[in-house]
Chains A and B, each alone.
Chain A
Amino acid sequence: MNKTRSFILVLAALVLFLSGCAGFQTSSNNEEANKEENPEGKTVIDFWTFWGSEIRRPIIEKIIADFNESQDEIEVKHTYLPFGDVWTKELAAIAAGDPPDVVINDINATALRGQKEQAMNLSQFLEQDDISNRFYPELWDATLYEGESYGIPFNTDTRVLFYNKDAFEEAGLDPENPPTTWAELEEYAAKLDKKSDNGYDRIGFYPLWGVGYDVWLLNANGQNYFDEQNNFQIDTAKNEDVLNWLKSFKDHYGEDVINSYQAQIDSQQGHPFFSGDLAMIVQQPTFYTQIRDYAQDLNFGVVELPEYEEGNGHTSWGGGFVAEIPAGAKNPEASWEFIKYLTDVEAQTYWAVQNFDNVANIEAAETAAESTEFTEDGTMVYQKAVENMEHTLLTPVPVIAPDFSSLINPNMDEFFLGSMTAKEALEKSQKDVESLIEKNQ
């Protein structure tokens, strides 16, 4: 019938028209964005971070505002995206050919992103403007893929041992002489234990709070699982010894005690270290800000991680973030100018002091350590954090097997749960990762 047919035609036309509208709208938006110039003729660049908290957001936005005022060529716009989204969104934007101009990303996977051509190769800028010696070499090396950098280190972290000085005194230990070896750590922990009728009033130390087994393996070995030729080595007698040592703490305190303390730590409503129920813990230096806010009267000290045995080295573990230019960004020169500012002394010092965060720029870190804005305790922790950088190793993901840890962790879980021996867990990990490497080659 005529009526029906014309109705369908109208409907179809309407649908086409509407979808057409939508199409035109997005493309015109894109054109606007691609112009990348604001009315004053400045180049506008988009900077993506996941720093949206009440504390961090004002700090990064102040740095951006300072940069915008410092010159009249470039205007940086800040876009905050939640931590869970920012990198998948970045990837989608790169694939769509319209990426942001600068993104903060994980330092440990920088080489992988370089290999996959997600991040821009920065050597074209570094040839004219070598800023590599601003940063801790360990951080710089983590940004390299085949010797070329794909991201500029921004901030970092490390792991140190916090200990309760009052508890030391009470247990008859010298609060100015914290443990320096694993043997001492174990001995002191036992002395710091305070038993009560139904459990513990105080636990001396438990190595797997704050860090994982991997940090202790790193500490004992002084190197990563992967060497420079991509040879993977985990199944060693030393590692077996380390794992059994870690587990001895669990056996010592018992599963129930560990679980109830763990629950207290997880609930974030009263950390046992703040209440004096736990005498020592390995943490990032930023742990201090929680002590400052929630346990002002705590009399504590901070020291580098004890060493496996004397002379073995106080190796610690760190991570961090880089500022990178996504592949296909429209104004790499402007992005580069901003990254240089972001990783220069002034911005880095400001970030370090305001956030109490380890920064990648050596001079900034050292300046911050002298800052008068910190309290006495703050200065003590920050100085230790900066000093600790010389012991700190990163664990960049190997491009040959980026997900290798998902083959190790389950075995380690089985070991700590008691369904595998250390030897079995290590042998299986060794075998599994080797076959993954073979598969990927």
Chain B
Amino acid sequence: MGKKRLTMRRKESIYGYIFVLPWIIGFLAFTAGPLVFSFAASFTNYNITSQMDFVGGDNYQGLFTEDSLFWTSLWNTLYFVAFSVPLTTIGAIFLSALLNQDIPGIRFFRTLYYLPAVLSGVGVYMLWMQLLDPGTGMVNLVLSWFGIDGPNWLFDPDWTKPSLIFMKLWSVGGSMLLYLASMQGVSKNLYEAAEIDGANTWRKFFHITIPMITPVIFFDVVTSLIGGFQIFQEAYVMSNNGEGGPANSLLFYNLYMWKQAFTNFNMGYAMAMSWILFVIVFFLTVINLKLAPRWVHYEGEEK
């Protein structure tokens, strides 16, 4: 029997699999096992060393009905995500629109605004703790020049989460770069045609630029939504003893999960928490994907 020549399509899909093979191997070898294990162990009282007895849905039930800190941490995280995701997205689009001009010295400004994205981690948090210091920090000093009596930022439970969101806005440079790249890819013909039709700058921005960059907006919203739910370091570093800030206002979901796992050694309980978070994020991402065709515009898409 002669071997049948592979069709172009099949060939392509084989190449595709080869390209994703490293990820699949990594997933099967390192991620899949722990994933399955954590799901199974979330129905036990696993504490890493001495016990692992099946307790049914007790962990889940306890979280929903008896644990007030669970709800606090979920609320804190939702609050953070609800504000930080739209604000950083709008901020990044706004900034990249400004930096997408053809004026002398623009490269300097692009570098300047991108710089915070290069810095990362604990160093930045330390810096912001000093900047946001109510008595001696730069932020309140600048506010005082305008006659504003600045808030107590990280010491006032009403201001701790806004402080972090504020800090996040400072480092939108990373996603700004994506928007900038995609804005530069927008064909000049479209703008020229619009100009002939008499469109002003705003109309061009809202009717050409924004629709053309929707794939990047979509990508940014999905990834920053997922990243937002995973906020941990900021609260761990920027609150006293990593406890979650004044009046638990920075007790984010992952911080509470970490405390359950590694200071109380309730590993099974923490695993149940991680699965609840997984379901929430999964659900939101599915909604995102379902809504995407309504507003995301892919060029060259087959209709």
A contact residues vs B (CB 8 Å cutoff) = 1-2, 4, 8, 11, 15, 19, 87-88, 91, 94-95, 109, 112, 115-118, 256, 259-260, 262-264, 266-267, 327, 402-403, 406-407, 409-411, 413-414, 417, 432, 435, 439
Contacts and interface: CB of A to CB of B under 8 A. Distances in A.
B130 A4 contact: no
A109 B265 CA distance: 11
A94 B246 contact: no
Given A116-B48, A260-B135, A403-B264, 7 more contacts: A4-B6, A15-B25, A88-B262, A91-B48, A116-B50, A407-B69, A413-B247
A259 B135 contact: yes
A74 B259 CA distance: 37
Contacts, number: 94
Contacts of B3: 1-2
Interface residues on B, range: 35 or more
Interface in B137-185: 137, 152, 155-157
B11 A4 contact: yes
A95 B264 CA distance: 16
A439 B66 contact: yes
B57 to A, nearest CB: 15
A15 B21 contact: yes
B49 A413 contact: no
Contacts of B47: 116
A413 B18 contact: no
Given A8-B14, A116-B265, A259-B134, A406 B49 contact: no
B268 interface: no
B29 A19 contact: yes
Contacts of B11: 4
B152 A413 contact: no
A359 B100 CA distance: 64
Contacts of A19: 25, 29
A204 B29 CA distance: 62
Interface in B67-126: 67-69
User: Which 8 pairs from chain A and chain B are nearest by CB?
Assistant: A117-B50, A260-B135, A413-B247, A263-B135, A410-B248, A413-B246, A259-B135, A410-B247
Interface in B233-261: 243-244, 246-248, 251, 259-260
A94 B48 contact: yes
B294 interface: no
